[in-house]
Amino acid sequence: MPDVTKAMLDGQVTGIAYELVRLNDGRLPLLEPMSEVAGKLSVLNGSYFLLGQNGGRGVLLGGTVGVQPAKVVVIGAGIAGRCATEVALGMGADVSILDLNYAKLDQMRVATQNRVRTIHSTKASLAREVASADLLIGAVLIPGAAAPKIVTTEMIKSMKPGSVFVDISIDQGGCSETIRPTSLDNPVYEQHGVIHYGVCNMPAQTPRTSTQALTAATLPYVIKIANHGLDALKKFPELKGALNTHKGLLTNNEVAEATGFRAVSIEDALK
Ligand SMILES: NC(=O)c1ccc[n+]([C@@H]2O[C@H](COP(=O)([O-])OP(=O)(O)OC[C@H]3O[C@@H](n4cnc5c(N)ncnc54)[C@H](O)[C@@H]3O)[C@@H](O)[C@H]2O)c1
């Protein structure tokens, strides 16, 4: 990492960090497409591992006439959680979603016309919901920080044997004490009777859709830079705020801390 930083500084590269492009309302438009894909895939992957031959409880998400649907519990009502919920509802599951943010829960309630149970996330409500889940989906994010370990080992132990836990937030360390990263080649492991899925690059399963989604989100910024050159940094605050290196200067404090280089303010670098 220091080597890469040094090469960018020595080469006088103007580096704009993809993951730091942030709109006025706090949204991260270049990360959203992958959260959408991962959210949708979480239910497909989870329902696959619920199948009997895959070690799961052998339940169909939507149930049948006369047989109740499976219960899906989604933690986090952001982009990934919303997309997971949409797919789970579409497959006929009984869905609960938990978040700390009432506005996001309310958006889910309205968007799904009350077809989803919205629940304020507390230790007690989490413990109750996790224990009853056939499929548990972790989709929490605290921007700029590791995911909080809110699903305890005790909660996982309370789940039914053969139930499935897909932790989308594994790329930020995961939201459970029991989750660890896995790979697409070997995506699951069993712990305390629960099948754990911890793939950090879930969108790689649908490379065509993911690439199209990512490039569609990126293109408007590429066009801005193509039309305005480096002036785009002064004209568009979302690009300016994402500046990491410019004219041999480092402008990101976190990178400075991680690499030992000194950072200057973005304003100073653009003077
Ligand atoms: N594994 C993958 O392939 C993959 C792909 C894309 C995104 N992700 C990850 O998915 C996660 C979700 O991303 P997103 O874009 O949906 O984020 P987001 O910011 O849109 O949503 C996260 C939600 O988590 C909620 N939250 C925070 N703490 C909580 C708590 N204690 N209880 C309940 N909810 C809580 C927030 O209020 C927010 O609504 C991130 O960790 C992201 O890095 C993983």
Among residues of the chain, what percentage have pLDDT more than 70?
A: 100
Query: What per-residue confidence (pLDDT) applies to 184?
Result: 97
93 vs 89: CA distance, rounded Å: 5
Cα-to-centroid distance, 85 and ligand 1 (Å): 13
Q: Which atom of ligand 1 is nearest to the CA of 147?
A: 41
pLDDT higher than 80, residue 19 = yes
Give the residue, out of 20, 79, 97, 141, with the most ligand 1 atoms within 8 A of its beta carbon, to mutate for a pocket test. 141
- Ligand 1 atom index nearest CA of 34: 6
Bridge partner list, 136: 73, 165
Let me know how long the chain is.
271
The CA distances from residue 62 to 45, 91, 164, 209, in Å, are: 15, 5, 16, 26
The SS3 of residue 128 is helix
Q: Report how far ligand 1's centroid is from the alpha carbon of 174 (Å).
A: 10
At 34, the pLDDT band (50, 70, 90 cuts) reads: very high
Q: How confident is the model at residue 26 (pLDDT cuts 50, 70, 90)?
A: confident
CB 239 within 8 A of CB 2: no
CA distance between the termini of the chain: 27
Confidence band (pLDDT; 50, 70, 90) for 142?
confident
- What is residue 258's predicted lDDT score, i.e. its pLDDT? 86
Write the CA distances from 258 to 4, 6, 15, 262, integer angstroms: 12, 13, 17, 10
**For residue 241, is pLDDT > 80?**
yes
Q: 161 C-alpha vs ligand 1 centroid, how far in Å?
A: 26
For residue 251, the SS3 value is coil
Average pLDDT over residues 152-157: 98
pLDDT over 90 for what percent of the chain? Answer: 91
Sequence-ordered alpha helix ranges (H) in the chain: 2-10, 32-49, 79-90, 102-111, 123-132, 153-157, 207-228, 232-235, 237-240, 253-259, 266-270
| Beta bridge mates, 182 | 199
Confidence category of residue 85, pLDDT binned at 50, 70, 90? very high
42 pocket-lining for ligand 1 (C-beta < 6 Å): no
pLDDT of residue 3 exceeding 90, the answer is: yes
Residue nearest to atom 42 of ligand 1 (CA): 169
Looking at the whole model, is its pTM more than 0.75? yes
Please compute the mean of the pLDDT values over residues 18-24 and round it to a whole number: 90
Across the range 30-49, mean pLDDT stands at 97
The pLDDT of residue 143? 76
Amino acid 145: pLDDT: 77
The pLDDT value recorded for residue 124 is: 98
pLDDT score of 1: 75
141 Cβ inside 6 Å of ligand 1: yes
Cα–Cα separations (whole angstroms), residue 37 to 43, 56, 175, 178, 211: 11, 23, 19, 24, 11
